[in-house]
Amino acid sequence: MVNIFRIALVSGITALWLTSPLLAQSRQAPPGMFKDLDDEILGDALVIHGKQLFIDDYVIGDLQGVQKKLHQPIKHPQNPVLKRDRPSDGFATDYGTVVFDPSDRRFKMWYQVLQGTAKDGASHRYLVGFATSADGIHWEKPITNQQADNNHIVMEPPERFLGGPGVMIDDRDENPQRRFKMMYVANPEAKPSSLSTRIAYSADGIHWKQEAANPVIPFSDTQIAPYWDQRLGRYVAYLRFGPPNTRIVSRIESEDFLHWSPKVTVLRKSKLDAPFSTEFYTMTGVPYEGVYIGLLNTYRRGRKAVAAWREGRSVATTRPIRSRHCVGR
């Protein structure tokens, strides 16, 4: 049985009775209004809105006779749904973004392509492939680069190292040439010191133009996941900490997608991670029903998996379930 002691629900048909001083009672807001609510009236209650996910103990006062359990997703039997089936896919594909475009009701994917020779790092070239799908399962790779006869995006000016594409559709932007926004990793000098985060814009998700002020964020070498936070009225992105190169998760925010705040670490290793030498990076965060839920890659003694995290205010991070990963290798 779940006892919830700290939730305050205020509506037009619900009266909230609080034991408070006479002065505080005289300042109580009419039912359904919060404009005059202050800390003295509120006390220890939590004012919440909408649905609440019992993903952690934030709104739960006590648990008796029940146990929280993380139900693992089931992998689709047709996996992998996107395969390397042409020379332009290189010797490896990884880091990808999938979004649903309401303008043509298609799922769209941007994924990293590694070309060259697998064992020869000097030959590696990082590019971005493009695919579309009606259902998110069956994917097509349209010819987007007519000159090269492949499905790679076209970046102006070109990048030899174009990695970890994080793409969002931004219908708030009045400029149609900036409807698609991308954050990506560049390494123009092919050495760790030149790793940086850059941004680009596109009208169709295929033909991209770099921001003239690039690079906008120093250092990063894995995928970055930007999105528009309606509650904050700002763009938010999660990325790898650095320098130095460390597998912990940081957060940045911006009002214009160009000028970004300093990195704030939101997820770092703790004693729970010591037995398996667990490391974290590439977190994708999404606002959902009053909280932020993040999925991130973890390394546990050489094994890679996906874990889930919850953020209450987009900065303070908790581990809702500590027993297992969401998706194994």
DSSP 19-30: ---HHHHHTPPP
> Does residue 203 sit within a domain?
yes
pLDDT above 60 for 313 = no
Per the CB < 8 A criterion, the answer to whether 253 and 260 are in contact is yes
- Residue 58 included in any domain: no
Q: What is the DSSP letter of 4?
A: -
Is 29 within 8 Å of 35 (Cβ atoms)?
yes
Q: Is the pLDDT of residue 15 over 60?
A: no
Whether 97 is covered by a domain: the verdict is yes
Predicted local distance difference test score (pLDDT) of residue 323: 45
Looking up residue 109, the CATH number of its domain turns out to be 2.115.10.20
Which stretch of DSSP H or E encloses residue 39?
Answer: helix 39-42
Task: Note the pLDDT of residue 8.
Answer: 36
Chain segment 104-149, per-residue pLDDT in tens: 999 999 999 998 887 776 778 899 999 999 999 999 999 999 888 9
Length of the chain: 329
Residue 265's domain spans which residues? 87-318
Query: Does 103 have pLDDT greater than 90?
Result: yes
The predicted structure's pLDDT at residue 57: 76
In a domain? residue 69: no
Residues 6+ apart with CB under 8 A from 328: 72, 305
The residue assigned the tokens 């705040």 is: 261
Say if 283 falls within a structural domain.
Answer: yes
> How far is it, in rounded angstroms, from Cα 215 to Cα 194?
10
pLDDT-derived band at 166 (thresholds 50, 70, 90) equals very high
Q: Could you tell me which residue, 1 or 146, shows the higher pLDDT? A: 146
Tell me, rounded to whole angstroms, the distance of Cα 205 from its chain centroid.
19
Task: Please write the tens of the pLDDT for every residue from 200-240.
Answer: 999 999 999 999 999 998 777 788 889 999 988 999 998 88
Q: How many domains does the chain have?
A: 1
In terms of pTM, does the model score above 0.85?
no
Cβ neighbours of residue 282 under 8 Å, at least 6 residues apart? 95, 164, 222, 223, 225, 240, 296, 297
pLDDT digits (tens, 9 = 90+) for 56-101: 777 777 888 988 777 778 889 999 999 999 999 999 998 889 999 9
| pLDDT for the residue 194 | 82
Q: Which stretch of 48-62, 220-234, 256-270, 298-312 has the lowest confidence by average pLDDT?
A: 298-312
| Residue 166 lies inside a defined structural domain of this protein | yes
- Predicted confidence at residue 237, as pLDDT, reads 93
| pLDDT, the chain, mean | 79
Count other Cβ atoms within 10 Å, centred on residue 304: 12
Question: At 28, is the pLDDT very low, low, confident or very high (cuts 50, 70, 90)?
Answer: low
C-alpha closest to that of 101 among 63, 141, 79, 131: 131
Q: Which residue has the tokens 């130095």?
A: 244
Work out the end-to-end distance of the chain between its first and last CA atoms, rounded to an integer number of angstroms.
Answer: 35
Taking the C-alpha atoms of residue 94 and residue 89, their distance in angstroms, rounded to an integer, is 10
Report residue 318's pLDDT band, with 50, 70 and 90 as the boundaries.
low
Other residues' Cβ atoms within 10 Å of the Cβ of residue 326:
16
Asked which of 51-60, 181-190, 263-272 is least confident by mean pLDDT, the reply is 51-60
Query: What was the pLDDT predicted at 320?
Result: 54
Assess if residue 71 is contained within a domain: no
Query: pLDDT band at 309, cuts 50/70/90?
Result: low
pLDDT at 5: 35
| Tokens describing residue 148 | 């090269």
Average pLDDT over residues 165-186: 96
The confidence score (pLDDT) of residue 219 equals 76
**Tokens (6 digits) for 27:** 């300042």
CB atoms within 10 A of CB 148: 12
Q: Measured between alpha carbons, how far is 280 from 299 in angstroms, rounded to an integer?
A: 7
The answer to whether position 13 is within a domain reads: no
Question: How many helices (H) does the chain have, and how many strands (E)?
Answer: 2, 22
Place 23 in a pLDDT band, splitting at 50, 70 and 90.
very low
pLDDT at residue 77, rounded to an integer: 92
